[in-house]
Amino acid sequence: MLTVMSIPPTTNQVQGPAIHVQGLEKSYQQLRVLRGVDLDVPRGSIFALLGSNGAGKTTMVKILSTLLKADTGTARVNGFDVATQATDVRESISLTGQFAAVDEILTGRENLVLVARLRHRKNPGAIADDLLRRFSLTEAGTRRVATYSGGMRRRLDIAMSLIGNPPVIFLDEPTAGLDPQARIEVWRAVKELAEGGTTVLLTTQYLDEAEQLADRIAILHQGRIIVNGTLAELKALLPPAKVEYVEKQPSLEDVFLAVVGAADTGGQDRMTRSNTE
Ligand SMILES: Nc1ncnc2c1ncn2[C@@H]1O[C@H](COP(=O)(O)OP(=O)(O)OP(=O)(O)O)[C@@H](O)[C@H]1O
Ligand SMILES: [Mg+2]
């Protein structure tokens, strides 16, 4: 998690799409990574940006979070221009990178209290306890983060990014390297965020992650968004599948989750549903 700065509640009140991007271009020397990206992300939705390695997903996220300047084009986040109103953008967002940025020496609770203090929040202890509860980390809260699993670290990282209630959050490959159980835990946390009105832009290489989470999915390829729509719209791009009567085999993921006990993580519903689709 990147602690950007304190977030006044007034930033929640800006109207329009949460993210608006038009004609965005970015090159690194000769390498043209973004060649005219257009996209809009409605408020309170989960938007998945898909793309293969090197497609430019992290570059997009860095530009939207003001860490990198675009060459041309415009990008607005929470109504603010990333180039000319960077401070307002930073006050509106949080960014969780691919590698969890939590302090190993501290406990989970101490990490949260630290960020709450840095962001000048009142009652940092109460904020920490609330987030630990929301992310099912209450038991682990008093343990050093060095003893946490990858999924626990990632959940703590996301929890830290929520302090101050930023209206827009960026998650760059939030479940990379996590096992299926931990991924489901992170997915659940992300869904809860969107239900609470937060806009989430996440990048992923996992198609099932986009399928599970996103209201809209865009595919970044060769510097442009080549597809952008709901899952149903994307599926409609392909000809309807022929009906074949074959026995439905569970996927390896279904088997893995059944054996390790997905029910404990709240993933049972999803697993059952995917078996019957
Ligand atoms: N600072 C930099 N200088 C030069 N080239 C860079 C720089 N940052 C990224 N690139 C190149 O730009 C391209 C896009 O990188 P980016 O990290 O945005 O891709 P990505 O879609 O996030 O990939 P991944 O899925 O591997 O995370 C890659 O070819 C990468 O090597
Ligand atoms: Mg990346």
Tell which wins on pLDDT, 243 or 71.
Answer: 71
- For residue 273, count other CB atoms closer than 10 A to its CB: 9
pLDDT at 266 over 70: no
Q: Residue 234 carries which DSSP code?
A: H
Topology of domain 19-241 in CATH is Rossmann fold (3.40.50)
Tell which wins on pLDDT, 179 or 158.
Answer: 158
> What integer best gives the mean pLDDT of the chain?
84
User: In one letter, which amino acid is 115?
Assistant: V
CB of residue 97 inside a 6 A radius of ligand 1 = no
pLDDT at 168 over 90: yes
Residue to probe by mutation, ligand 1, list 24, 32, 33, 209, most atoms within 8 Å of CB: 33
Domain with CATH 3.40.50.300 in the chain: 19-241
pLDDT score for 260 = 66
pLDDT at 270 over 70: no
Tell which wins on pLDDT, 235 or 251.
Answer: 235
User: Which of 130, 129, 137, 133 has its CA nearest to residue 154?
Assistant: 137
- For residue 240, count other CB atoms closer than 10 A to its CB: 7
- Strand ranges of the sheet holding 46-50, from the earlier edge strand across to the other edge: 93-96, 168-172, 199-204, 46-50, 216-221, 224-229
CA distances from 168 to 41, 133, 165 (A): 10, 22, 9
pLDDT score for 179 = 79
Nearest-CA residue for atom 6 of ligand 1: 28
pLDDT score for 238 = 74
pLDDT score for 149 = 87
Atom of ligand 1 nearest to the CA of 61: 18
Tell which wins on pLDDT, 116 or 101.
Answer: 116
pLDDT tens, position by position, 2-61 = 544 444 444 444 578 999 999 999 999 999 999 999 999 999 999 999 988 899 999 999
102-112 burial by CB neighbour count: b if 16+ within 10 A, else e?
A: bbeeebbbbbb
> Residue 231's pLDDT band (boundaries 50, 70, 90)?
confident
> Residue 274's pLDDT band (boundaries 50, 70, 90)?
very low
Closest ligand to C-alpha of residue 223 is: 1
